Amino acid sequence: MCGIIGVYGNEGSVKETILLGLISIQHRGQDTCGIATFSQRMHLEKGLGLVGQFLTPGRLKNLHGNVGIGHVRYPTIGRGAPEDAQPFCLLAPRGIAIAHNGNVINYIELRKKLSKKVKFKSKCDIEVILYTLAEELKKADRLNPQTIFRGVERIFNLVCGSYSVVSVIEGAGLLAFRDPYGIKPLVFGMKDNSYMFASESVALEVSGYKMVRDVAPGEAILITKGGKFLSKTIVKGNLHPCIFEWVYFARPDSVIDNISVYEARLRLGKSLAKEIKKTKTKADVVIPIPDTARASALSVAQQLSVKYREGLIKNRYIGRTFIMPEDDERKRKVRSKLNPIRSEINNRKVLLIDDSIVRGNTSREIINLVRNAGAKEVYFASSSPPLKYPCVYGIDMQTRSEFIARGKEIEDVEKEIGADRLVYQTLEGLINSIGRDRNFCTACFNGVYPTKVSKETFRIIEKERRSRH
């Protein structure tokens, strides 16, 4: 999971718009950030750290031009080293800057093939997309929209996985495209004669852009250097967006594929309350685990006629623990990230609501925190079903051993995390709450993957994952 921004403007410089957009989607990646712009030549600033820490005024002054792209990264392929930071730039034979959100499943295979022709500079999977596009553009006698769309078609034919992409191409303009399954989000908007692409609609809104629509799966859009809008459906798409966007990743004020994230989370809470009622759990207070569970917890409290309280206060200066790369780091950060309000917890039966349970370590730490604050009993409810299957599309839960629920009954998980009672959302409840008339990627819950994934792919991913520890 990452965040991307692409802007074509008329104001002479788009860096401020990209910067503001990246800050609004900082929650999608905390490891690296970067911006590339074009004005006669490519200008690039990227490196480790948060947007506000790395992209200082001193660095921004070097970014000139009326077209550019930006990126925030959390690593799934590669170690999150400085050389893996995006955007990536290729200066010859044609200037290209590129960034993506997603995960290339056949990265190893494509890298081996391409390594015979080009030299890779990192272990980031965007390089295989970059060189695949560059190879196709190199074949053309002249650069035009048809040439560029053929380059995207080649990517669709060769690259397997999830990828939403923004790219600046010298002499052509701003290119954006979304994989044929639309697994990762990509929206675009307009303001006067300017265009903006982003991973979430909130990035458009904070910059004053009016959202037009989502980029369709299998679609490529080119904003030419003259500001002309060109769109082409390269392949017939089969939309399967990652359902975890609505559960956890996206900001509640975003709208993705015409579904409000906040309203979806309210519906998740209503559905979860039905499952809690079945267990005859009687709580004195419902407390969300901030921030993503707030809407669901509010809905649960309303359905159960139980008080809703903010019993855990989040330190705003600690990043999202789920997307931290190391498990020990996650556990340490939980202790410094959350602090209980004892008056809302002491001597009460507390029902904690969270968006999901992946490895169980964070849940265990929070339950201990609440017990130490004086809770009589601690119940735990998850807005999503048990996670059991690896994600190959860009969420850092890629091996079977990471899932606490895999091969266990609910009672076993309940005991491991130390809850007096554990309640999960059902898969049917999850899908119906977010969009009953939609097809989603729910592979991490049921093992059904939109794309073909071989056993060898899982073996390679697990091997790569182990090498990072």
Q: How far is Cα 267 from Cα 428, in angstroms, rounded to an integer?
A: 13
Q: Which helix (H) or strand (E) segment is 79 a member of?
A: none
Residue positions counted in the chain: 469
Q: How many Cα atoms within 13 Å fall on the side-chain side of residue 362? A: 27
Mapping DSSP onto H, E and C, the string for 366-377 reads HHHHHHHCCCCE
Q: Is 374 left (phi over 0), alpha (psi -120 to 50) or beta?
A: left
Helices (H), 326-423: 327-337, 342-345, 361-372, 410-417
In 3-state terms, what secondary structure has residue 217? Answer: coil
> Could you identify the residue written with the tokens 């579904």?
259
Beta bridge partners of 338: 314
Question: Of 2, 33, 160, 444, which one is the catalytic site residue?
Answer: 2
Nearest partner of 205 among 156, 254, 263, judged by Cα: 254
* Residues 149/133, Cβ–Cβ less than 8 Å: no
Which of 91, 73, 95, 92 is CA-nearest to residue 82?
A: 73
Joined tokens for residue 69: 């792209």
CA 142 vs. chain centroid, Å, equals 36
CA 39 to chain centre: 30
CA–CA gap between residue 345 and residue 312 (Å, rounded): 9
Query: Do residues 285 and 306 touch, judged by C-beta distance below 8 A?
Result: yes
**Alpha carbon 80 to chain centroid, angstroms:** 15
CA atoms within 13 A on the CB side of 394: 31
Q: Which residues pair with 230 in a beta bridge?
A: 222
**Could you tell me if residue 40 is left (phi over 0), alpha (psi between -120 and 50 degrees) or otherwise beta?**
left
Catalytic annotation present for 2: yes
3-state secondary structure of 349: strand
Active site residues per annotation: 2
